Chain A
Amino acid sequence: MLAAARCIVYRDLLLALRRRSDVATALLFFVIVTSLFPLGIGAEPDLLRSIAPGVIWVAALLSCMLSLGRLFAADHADGTLEQLLLSSEPLGVIAAAKALAHWLVSGLPLVLIAPLIALQYDLPAPLFGVLALSLLLGTPVLSMIGAIGAALTLGLRGGGVLLSLLVLPLYVPVLIMGAGSVDMVAAGLAPDGQLLLLAALLIVAAAFAPWAIAAALRISVE
């Protein structure tokens, strides 16, 4: 069971490595969107400091969603997905491995690059840690919930826009807790409450999302 999961993660990472531009596009999107806000709103340092957590988190949500369309599409097109569904390994484990690979490719780079964006927004250095930690806890939830939507919209016309309509409302709790934790530290308070709630969301998503992804895949492929 673990061998199958490891195999899927390894394969997806290898595929991502062979098509580096796909990974880079989502990351560049994140950087560009966050760079647009100071240009549109104005570069007042106080204003930028106060909107930074929200802007970075919203950009992370959108960037994560952009890469969701590719999660199952290629496997669906070349028949790999049917083989995965026929596999003797539990489909939930396979779905969890796919979501994990998606997070490693699209979520983890955001966590690493977020402090750089925070510099652009003139956030004080003590906030970098909590920003990265909140993204580290929150982005896996985005990948798992997003994978449910990606599986449901597999092969539909207008899938990308539809996916955003399905998935973005479900991202709201992660956004509120993630941006809220940074706001707390900025206000001089402890972010424990928000971070623990993010961790709780992560645990609940890890427990239930793989089975929902598996059910959605079965519905879409049968």
Chain B
Amino acid sequence: MTAQMKWFWYASPQTFFPLAGVLARWCGAAAAVLCAVGLYIGLFVAPTDAQQGDAYRIIFIHVPAAWMSMFLYVLMAFWAAAGLAFNTRLSHMMASALAPTGALFTFIALWTGSFWGKPTWGTWWVWDARLTSELILLFLYFGFMALQAAIDDPRRADKAGALLALVGVVNVPIIYFSVVWGYTMNKGASVSLTKAPSMAATMLAGMLIMTFGFWFYGIAAVLLRARCIMLEREHASDWAGRYAKGIA
């Protein structure tokens, strides 16, 4: 077996399916442990903020969710590009599996952000660059999922979704900067989010641990969803039939 063949060994649903199951189990366990530790640090160990009181503690959910929402969109576009370039079915399946988890993290970021905004800024929502581009990101996830759901032929759904994801990933920075420039040149931002307050070491540690927890949760959820998509698409093949008999 040459090195190149080994590299693509797991690019087939048949070989990737069992690996995804094992990885999903371990990553799910890691996510549970990390989130428990992170939440403990965030809720009990980290000191109360001098200005915001205990309301700031939502950042242990909010910031990791916001990071993951953007990271997962880029990852989705990466798999979409790989699928278009190498014509590998599994890449497209990964892109489809990533979208709902990405949309979930985007929604959590928006939701917790508005819970954080009410006590600190006195409002649920401001049309700030970050909030607006996060909202548009949610619409982009919805558009990707709606397009794939509307197309019956899986091959066309894969490729159309991939092209849309690539157009979207080019647009996300343009949208962000258009809102930044649109507002700074126009009205002046009402709330400045760019000044990062100095952060206690325990706060940072809690946030990073939560980020890794969300990351592992993302891997586990995406791989489980990818396993379902693989079974659905490959239901006529031998290995899927054997698996179905095994669990029946």
A residues neighboring B (CB under 8 Å): 145, 148, 152-153, 156-159, 162, 165-166, 168-170, 172-173, 176-177, 180, 183-184, 187, 193-194, 197, 201, 208, 212, 215-216, 219-220, 222
Write out the residue numbers on chain B whose beta carbons fall within 8 Å of the beta carbon of A222. 156
A173 touches B178 (CB 8 A): yes
Closest 3 pairs between A and B when the two form their complex, measured CB to CB: A173-B178, A176-B182, A169-B139
B 159-179 binary contact with A (CB < 8 Å = 1; else 0)? 110011011101100110011
Per a CB cutoff under 8 Å, which of A152, A158, A159, A177 touches B164? A152
CB-based nearest A residue for B184: A193
A166 touches B147 (CB 8 A): yes
B178 touches A158 (CB 8 A): no
Write out the residue numbers on chain A whose beta carbons fall within 8 Å of the beta carbon of B11. none
B175 touches A152 (CB 8 A): no
A180 touches B182 (CB 8 A): yes
Per a CB cutoff under 8 Å, which of A193, A201, A215 touches B163? A215
Shortest beta-carbon distance, A35 to chain B, in Å? 26
B168 touches A177 (CB 8 A): no
Write out the residue numbers on chain A whose beta carbons fall within 8 Å of the beta carbon of B185. 180, 184, 193-194
A183 CA / B174 CA spacing, docked (Å):
20
B residues neighboring A (CB under 8 Å): 136, 139-140, 142-143, 146-147, 150-151, 156, 159-160, 163-164, 166-168, 170-171, 174-175, 178-179, 181-182, 185-186
Q: Interface residues of B: mostly helix, strand, loop or mixed? A: helix
Shortest beta-carbon distance, A154 to chain B, in Å? 9
B136 touches A169 (CB 8 A): yes
13 CB contacts below 8 A, A to B, read A165-B139, A165-B142, A166-B164, A170-B171, A172-B179, A173-B174, A173-B178, A176-B178, A180-B185, A183-B186, A193-B181, A193-B185, A212-B166
Shortest beta-carbon distance, A214 to chain B, in Å? 11
Q: When A148-B167, A162-B146, A193-B185 are in contact, do A176 and B160 touch as well, CB less than 8 Å? A: no
A201 CA / B175 CA spacing, docked (Å):
11
Write out the residue numbers on chain A whose beta carbons fall within 8 Å of the beta carbon of B156. 219-220, 222
Known: A152-B147, A156-B150, A183-B186. 5 other contacts (CB 8 A): A177-B178, A193-B185, A194-B185, A212-B163, A219-B160
